[in-house]
Amino acid sequence: MNNVVKHSSSLKSKNGQHIVRIRDVEVGAKRIVIMAGPCTVEDRENLLMTAISVREAGALVLRGGAYKTRTSPRSFQGLGETALRLLAEAREQSGLPIVTEITDHTDLPLIAKYADMLQIGSRNMQNTVLLKAVGRCRLPVLLKRGFSNTIDEWLSAADYILDGGNDQVVLCERGIRTFETSTRFSLDILSVPVVKRKSRLPIIVDPSHAAGNRDLVIAVSRAAIAAGADGLLVEVNCNPYEAKVDGKQTITTEQFSDLMRQLKAIACSVKREL
């Protein structure tokens, strides 16, 4: 309808599909990539147990927050470098590369020492200072959609990174803000095929933030893969009931194993692998 903007990511790559590499994990290839882990790193034991557990169930990347953008200054803001060190330890033990959020461009040298992929959160999607900074580095970037940004604005945010010289960008749909109140956000499932038509960048889906409720996560994860997503970013915790952040929407490691079983069937039905 309104595809007047020419995005950098709309350029066709020479060999078709554009692949983003997180160490030896490829996003955008035939294999569906599941990134899983706790919302925020809060506790060493918990992180290591969760990491091992999601790896065994088939996750390929470990997620975990060290720096958070919280609505209120009185909410837990993350453990910072302590969390980064724990993530590195979890990587060593599980073998999974790690993705973690960056909220301040001056943290980049520090975070780059630990992370395998940088995440730009929804509230920072139009933080152009941050976008330019990660555009100048060589780590892959997971760019979440702003919860009230159009798909074209999202692709323009990706342009900031691509135009800076970093083409290792994975998009992540995580739900948009609407009038509906029975879910935390409304997952815009149509964004998956729309992005596939407008851009060569891989796109994954975060079912957890949209749902806001762990009992809805599995159904909408199936839908995401069926719609053509290249992967998922799921909040998983071996004990979500005591998490300080987003526990209500975080699935247990048992639910995650069930999710992976169900996704295998869906992936196969859309000729992908898991």
Binders of a copy of itself among residues 18 to 37 (CB under 8 A) are: none
* Pairwise CA distance, residues 190 & 192, whole Å: 5
Cβ atoms of 134 and 165 closer than 8 Å: no
Provide CB contacts within 8 A for 45, sequence distance 6+. none
Q: Which of 12, 14, 33 is nearest to 22 (CA)?
A: 33
Stretch that binds a copy of itself, among 19-27, 51-59, 87-95, 174-182 (CB under 8 A): 174-182
47 versus 188: smaller Cβ distance to a copy of itself: 188
Q: Which of 21, 39, 38, 37 is nearest to 29 (CA)?
A: 21
Site for a copy of itself in 112-141 (CB under 8 A): 123-124, 126-129, 131-132
93 versus 212: smaller Cβ distance to a copy of itself: 212
99 versus 263: smaller Cβ distance to a copy of itself: 263
Residue type, 227: A
Q: Which of 102, 193, 98, 91 is nearest to 143 (CA)?
A: 102
Candidates 92, 163, 242, 273: give the one binding a copy of itself (CB under 8 A).
Answer: 163
Place of tokens 């960048």: 201
Candidates 92, 113, 165, 190: give the one binding a copy of itself (CB under 8 A).
Answer: 190
Burial 59-76 (b: 16+ CB within 10 A, else e): bbbbbbbbbbbeeeeeee
Stretch that binds a copy of itself, among 14-22, 46-54, 85-93, 157-165 (CB under 8 A): 157-165
Candidates 159, 167, 206, 235: give the one binding a copy of itself (CB under 8 A).
Answer: 159
Q: How far is the CB of 51 from a copy of itself (least distance, A)?
A: 27
Does the protein bind a copy of itself through residue 15 (CB under 8 A)? Answer: no
Candidates 220, 234, 236, 274: give the one binding a copy of itself (CB under 8 A).
Answer: 220
Site for a copy of itself in 62-121 (CB under 8 A): 69-74, 77, 103-106
Output the six-digit token pair for 129. 């200072």
End-to-end CA distance of the chain: 34
H or E element that contains 269:
helix 253-269
51 versus 171: smaller Cβ distance to a copy of itself: 171
Q: Which of 118, 188, 102 is nearest to 149 (CA)?
A: 188
Q: How far is the CB of 27 from a copy of itself (least distance, A)?
A: 19
Candidates 45, 56, 165, 265: give the one binding a copy of itself (CB under 8 A).
Answer: 265
44 versus 264: smaller Cβ distance to a copy of itself: 264
Does the protein bind a copy of itself through residue 147 (CB under 8 A)? Answer: yes
Angle between helices 128-135 and 151-163 (to 10 degrees): 40
Q: How far is the CB of 196 from a copy of itself (least distance, A)?
A: 8
Phi/psi-derived region of residue 22, left when phi > 0, alpha when psi is between -120 and 50, beta in every other case: beta
Q: How far is the CB of 74 from a copy of itself (least distance, A)?
A: 8
